[in-house]
């Protein structure tokens, strides 16, 4: 079966272990901190320049995840459901997409059901071996180290759009 990334119209990503290194800090007052990479924020800008929809599906509820999504103007966030298939089905219906038009970026076992549905499963470098085994692409970066951005760059590169997207971003910076 030939992989044709030119058909990708949406990137769906797990959060903990992809956008972060999978750890969080929690104080006795329940205040939670997560470390996010600025490089992944640039990845969001790149995806938008390429007109790729972005969604987050996190198995663990986190106010920090909601805050980061709002900060990046990501409207499609499913935060706190271990079964990610209903969220995936909602996103497909909302955007009228097929499995062949979606890439999913994951790192752990709860990501596998969605990764098995999409045409373009992507794993981060520090993903569980079973996740890596089904991935069409494995990032060189680990989660929390710009892995989301690397996945976006892979998609636009596979689509032959890298130069175009870099030019769009450059123009946005110059006119910004």
Task: List the CATH number of the domain containing 47.
Answer: 3.40.50.1000
Gyration radius from the chain CA atoms:
15
CA distance 83 to 144: 23
In a domain, 126, yes or no: yes
In a domain, 13, yes or no: no
In a domain, 12, yes or no: no
In a domain, 7, yes or no: no
In a domain, 4, yes or no: no
Q: List, in sequence order, every beta strand (DSSP E) within the chain.
A: 10-13, 25-26, 32-33, 53-58, 76-79, 102-106, 120-123, 137-138
In a domain, 137, yes or no: yes
**Predicted local confidence at residue 3, as pLDDT:** 62
Structural domain count of the chain: 1
In a domain, 5, yes or no: no
In a domain, 43, yes or no: yes
Q: Residue 111: which of 2, 8, 18 has the closest Cα? A: 18
**Predicted local confidence at residue 176, as pLDDT:** 66
Per-residue pLDDT of the chain (176 residues; tens, 9 = 90+): 456 778 899 999 999 999 999 988 888 888 888 999 999 999 999 999 999 999 999 999 999 999 999 999 999 999 999 999 999 999 999 999 999 999 999 999 999 999 999 999 999 999 999 999 999 999 999 999 999 999 999 999 999 999 999 999 998 888 86
Structural domain span for residue 59:
20-175
């Amino acid at each position: 079966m030939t992989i044709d990334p030119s058909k990708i119209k949406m990137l769906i990503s797990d959060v903990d272990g992809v956008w972060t290194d999978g750890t969080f800090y929690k104080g006795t007052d329940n205040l939670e901190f997560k470390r996010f990479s600025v490089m992944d924020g640039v990845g969001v800008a790149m995806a938008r320049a390429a007109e790729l929809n972005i969604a987050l599906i996190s198995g663990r509820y986190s106010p920090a995840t909601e805050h980061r999504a709002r900060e990046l103007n990501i409207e499609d966030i499913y935060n706190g459901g271990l079964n990610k298939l209903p969220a995936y089905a909602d996103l497909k219906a909302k955007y009228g997409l097929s499995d062949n038009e979606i890439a999913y970026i994951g790192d752990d076992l709860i990501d596998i059901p969605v990764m098995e549905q999409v045409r373009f499963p992507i794993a981060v470098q520090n993903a569980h071996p079973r996740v890596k085994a089904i991935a069409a692409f494995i990032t060189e970066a680990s989660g929390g180290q710009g892995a989301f951005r690397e996945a976006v760059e892979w998609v636009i590169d596979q689509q032959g759009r890298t130069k175009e997207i870099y030019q769009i971003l450059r123009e946005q910076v110059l006119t910004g």
